[in-house]
Structure 1
C-alpha cells in the first residue's frame, strides 16, 4: 500500500506567505524604478524645454542686433551716429590688421569695425562678447539710440552685440587689377543672450549699402 505524506498545514501557510512577500517586494521595486524613471524623464523634458526657450530668447535678441547694425550702417539717427563712415568705395575705419577697433571710447566712431573677413579662426568666434574693458563689439543702440529691454525671467540678461567686417565686393565684369572698380560690402555678426550669458545665439548677414 503506497504511503502518502502530507505537509502540515502550518508549514504550507508559512511558505505561501514567504512567496507572497517576495513577490510583493519585487513588484514594489519595479514600481519604484518606474516612478524614478518617469520623474527623470519629466525633469529632462522640463530642462530641454527651458533650454529651448532660453535659446529662442537669445536668437530673437541676435536678430534685433542684426537689424540695429544695418541701421547703424545705413541710416542711424542717434546722437552718436556714424552712417557717413560706411561707403561702398572706401574703407576708412577698417584698417586694423588682425583685429577689431575698440574706438577712442566705449562709443568711439570706429568701435566694432573689423578688417578680419576670412580670418582663421574667424574673429567673431574669438572676440570676447561680454568684455567691459577694451571691448571690440558694439552694444545694441550705441550708434542708433534705440533701446532694448533686459532683466530677468523671459528677457535677455544683457543687450545683444554686433561687429562689422569689411569685405571686397567685385561684380562679374569687374577686374581684380582695377582698383577703381573695387567696392566694399559688410558682413555683420550679431550675438544675442538668453536670461544668462551661457545661452547665446549667433546670426550673420551680408549687407551692401549701395552707391554713395
Structure 2
C-alpha cells in the first residue's frame, strides 16, 4: 500500500506547477489588458478636459467681443487690432470702398492667432494660450422691398452687422475651438 501511494505521488508532481504557470500567464494578460484600457480612458478624459477648456476660452472671447461692440463709438475697421471690414464680392466695388488688407482672415488657417487679434482682458488659467477674437464689419444688401428676414428688414438699413470670431485653446496647443456669432448694432 505504501508502494502505491509513492507511485501515485510521483505521477502528480509536475501538474500543479504547470497549472500554476498557466493561471499566472492568464492573470498577467488580464492585468496588461486592464492597464491598457485604463490608460486609454485616462487619455480620453484628458482630451475631453482640453476640449472643454478650449470651448470655455472661446466662449469667453466671443462674449468679450460682443461687449466690445456695445461701446457708444467704435474705432475704424481698417484691418488693425483685430478689426476688419468685409470685402464685397464685386471687385469694382471692393476697389472703391476699401483696401484688401482690411479683409478678415480665414479663422481656420490664419497663422496670426498667436500674435494678432484682440486678447481678452481677464487671464484664464489652465490654458496653453490666452483666447483671442477678431471682429468683422459685414456688408448687408439693401432690401429691395419691405419684409423678409431679420437681415433684410427695414431696421437693418440703419443697423450694421458684425461677425465676432473667437479662438480658444485648451490645456495643450492641439485642443482648439473656434466660435463665431453675428451681432447687429
TM-score (norm 2): 0.69
Alignment: residue pair count: 160
Indicate if the aligned counterparts of 1:168 and 1:182 stay in contact, CA closer than 8 A: no
In structure 2, distance between residues paired with 1:40 and 1:114: 51
Alignment of 1:113-132 (within 5 A): 113-115=84-86, 123-132=106-115
Q: CA-atom RMSD, angstroms?
A: 3.3
Indicate if the aligned counterparts of 2:88 and 2:139 stay in contact, CA closer than 8 A: no
Indicate if the aligned counterparts of 2:66 and 2:183 stay in contact, CA closer than 8 A: yes
Corresponding residue number in structure 2 for 1:149:
124
Give yes or no for the alignment of 1:84 onto 2:74.
Answer: yes
Corresponding residue number in structure 1 for 2:98:
none
> What are the ranges of 5 or more consecutive residues in structure 1 without an aligned counterpart?
1-6, 77-82, 86-91, 95-100, 141-145
Corresponding residue number in structure 1 for 2:18:
22
Deviation, structure 1 residue 116: 6.2
In structure 1, distance between residues paired with 2:129 and 2:52: 15
In structure 1, distance between residues paired with 2:18 and 2:85: 73
Higher fraction of helix: 2
Going from structure 1 to structure 2, the CA distance change for 1:19 and 1:204 (only over 3 Å counts) comes to: same
TM-score (norm 1): 0.62
Specify which of 52, 55, 76 is matched with residue 56 of structure 1: 52
In structure 2, distance between residues paired with 1:112 and 1:25: 71
> Secondary structure of the residue that 1:196 maps to in structure 2?
coil
